[in-house]
Amino acid sequence: TENDEVLFDPFAPGFTDDPYPQYRQLREAGPVYQHPLGFWLLTQHAEVSDLLRSGLSVEDRNLGPSPMRDLREQAGIDVDPRAGGLSMLDRDPPDHTRLRSLVSKVFTPRSIAALEPEVTALVDEALDRIAEAGSVDLVEELAFPLPFAVISRMLGMPPVDHVRLRELTAQLVRSLEPVNDPATLAAIAAADAELSAVIADVIAWKRDNEADDLLTALIAAEHDGDVLSDEELVAQVVLLYVAGHETTVNLIAGGVLALLREPDQLALLRERPDLAGAATEELLRYDSPVQLSRRITLEPHTILGHVIPPGSFVIASLASANRDERFWGPDADQVRIDRPDARRHVSFGGGPHHCLGAALARLEARVAFGRLVERFDTLALDGEVEWNGRINLRGPGRLPVSVTA
Ligand code: HEM
């Protein structure tokens, strides 16, 4: 923090294609970096893990006077514009504890494990279509539709306008990106309002059409304890729905790309399909599907002698922690699907907000990676990869591949 050089510039050309050189420079500069806009950034594994477990706030109303706060005010937004203002992701205890335990009751490891046959069938259907075409965009044919179908079925969504919903969720996840103009913030708030209205209608419909699904269970949970408001119910469903399909897409597409770029690792997975679970952990580590997490200090927070004042926005770079050579050793930048401690990545966050969907994401990715190599003798890049242009929920936007069975 002693020098004025701007080391973190996520709007620099090329950053969203490959942010890792910047993160490496930041790690070399030290564990704590203060940006000229006033926010703080942590890039090393030890400090990132500590921050996630620290119990600091996630409620934006605790943000002190800062350029980030000014931006929100210029957009005419005086509360957090995320989908999420009311979702557990943006709440501190006791609300966080209440909301998370309600959702955990219905989103259990057992209910997720029971999905494996269905996930396998969905993957195999997608692979049939890919085999027939021979050459496809893997994002369009597998990485996006798989998690989308799984979360829609789990929730028990009625047939809805998928194209419009996909546009809305794409808008909404921009709230998780660094934003530097008020117009974008206003667009996000509009998408949030529209998506919440759609989900509120879905919930109203579900009240008359109960079934064996998550939405029905969440509605029942609302009735049982009388501890969840209607708005809160909508916000948790929006969170599950969005988290269910804007994150795992990056894991599947980014993971396949990493394997295609490291043919010896692809060959190893082919030889040893039993490594699909371990490969999933390593690919989560190698290219974090969610690159950043954030907290807000309520009191002066000291990290290795740096005092971060109250009301500060502190960003933890999960992506950088996952490549920290201090923690992983000199091969941190290499893919090694049999890396013994890969599970110690921070891609699902940590502490009280640790990802509630981790088991589901792991299941979908493990089945997808495993079935892909079992099904196809060759799997090769077949054109230019395009990144989705995001800083946080970063992944390939287009992944052209060709296959032969
Ligand atoms: C929270 C990552 C998939 C539901 C989180 C957090 C991360 C994360 C990093 C913590 C954010 C923070 O600490 O600020 C991922 C990744 C995924 C994934 C990398 C896929 C590869 C899913 C899925 C679902 C889900 C499939 C559910 C359908 C949630 C929920 C939270 C959360 C509900 C909020 C937990 C809380 O605030 O207590 N996720 N996620 N995630 N995730 Fe995931």
Q: Could you report the per-residue pLDDT of 372-399, keeping only the tens digit for each?
A: 999 999 999 999 999 999 999 999 999 9
Is 76 buried (19+), middle (13-18) or exposed (0-12) by CB count in 10 A? exposed
Q: What is the CA radius of gyration of the chain?
A: 21
Cα distance between residue 260 and residue 251, in whole Å: 14
Convert the pLDDT of each residue in 148-204 to its tens digit. 999 999 999 998 788 888 899 989 888 888 877 888 888 888 998 999 999 999 999
The string of DSSP letters for 54-85 reads TT-B--GGG--SSHHHHHHHHTT--S--SGGG
- Strand, coil or helix: what is 36? coil
pLDDT at 79 over 60: no
Render pLDDT for 231-288 as a digit per residue (tens, 0 to 9). 999 999 999 999 987 999 999 999 999 999 999 999 999 999 999 999 999 999 999 9
Question: What span, in angstroms and rounded, lies between the C-alpha atoms of 155 and 241?
Answer: 8
HSE-CB for 104 with a 13 A CA cutoff = 13
Domain at 45, CATH number: 1.10.630.10
- pLDDT above 80: residue 338: yes
* Cβ neighbourhood burial of 105 (10 Å; 0-12, 13-18, 19+): middle
Structural domain includes residue 27: yes
Ligand 1 neighbour 361 (Cβ under 6 A): yes
For ligand 1, atom 27: residue with the closest CA: 357
Residue type, 245: H
Q: Which of the listed residues 214, 282, 355 should we mutate to test ligand 1's pocket, taking the one with most ligand atoms within 8 A of CB? A: 355
Residue 78 has pLDDT above 90, yes or no: no
pLDDT of residue 405: 87
Three-state DSSP at 137 gives strand
In a domain, 211, yes or no: yes
SS3 category, 401: strand
Confidence of residue 129 (pLDDT cuts 50, 70, 90): very high
Distance 52 CA to ligand 1 centre (A): 13
30 inside domain: yes
350, pLDDT greater than 60: yes
Residue among 296, 294, 92, 72 at smallest CA distance from 182: 72
Distance between CA atoms of 30 and 8, rounded to whole angstroms?
A: 13
User: ω into residue 94 within 30 of 0, thus cis?
Assistant: yes
CA distance 38 to 60: 15
CA–centroid distance, residue 374 to ligand 1 (Å): 29
H or E element that contains 392: none
* C-alpha dihedral, 349 to 296 to 391 to 339, nearest 10°: -20
Neighbours of 211 (CB within 10 A): 10
Cβ of residue 295 lying under 6 Å from some atom of ligand 1: no
Question: What separation in Å is there between the alpha carbon of 173 and the centre of ligand 1?
Answer: 13
Q: Which phi-psi region, left, alpha or beta, contains residue 378 (left: φ > 0; alpha: ψ -120 to 50)?
A: beta
Pocket lining: 291 vs ligand 1, CB cutoff 6 Å = no
Q: How many independent structural domains does the chain possess? A: 1
**Which atom number of ligand 1 is nearest to the Cα of residue 154?**
28
Q: Is residue 40 part of a domain?
A: yes
pLDDT band at 96 (very low <50, low <70, confident <90, very high): very high
Say what the pTM is: 0.95
Domain of residue 124: give its range.
20-404
Beta bridge partners of 401: 136, 381
What is the distance in A from the centroid of ligand 1 to the CA of 339? Answer: 23
User: For 32-73, what is each residue's pLDDT tens digit?
Assistant: 999 988 899 999 999 999 999 999 999 988 988 877 777 766
Question: How many H-runs (helices) and E-runs (strands) does the chain carry?
Answer: 18, 11
291 occurs within a structural domain: yes
- What would the two tokens of residue 7 be? 């080391």
Residue 81 belongs to a domain: yes
Phi and psi at residue 295, to the nearest 5°: -140, 165
**367 CA from centroid of ligand 1 (Å):** 19
3-state helix/strand/coil string of 239-287: HHHHHHHHCHHHHHHHHHHHHHHCHHHHHHHHHCHHHHHHHHHHHHHHC
Give dist(CA 146, CA 150) in Å, integer: 6
- What was the pLDDT predicted at 81? 41
Q: Give a yes or no: residue 12 inside a domain.
A: no
Cα 3 to ligand 1 centre (Å): 35
- 3 state SS of 302: strand
Is residue 294 domain-resident?
yes
Q: How far is the CA of 392 from the centre of ligand 1 (A)?
A: 13
- What does the alpha-carbon distance between residue 130 and residue 135 come to, in Å, rounded to a whole number? 7
Q: Quick one: which atom of ligand 1 is closest to the CA of 236?
A: 33
- Report which protein residue has its CA nearest ligand 1's atom 32: 355
The ligand 1 atom at the shortest distance from the C-alpha of residue 96 is 38
Q: Which of 56, 175, 247 to mutate to test the pocket of ligand 1 (most atoms within 8 A of CB)?
A: 247
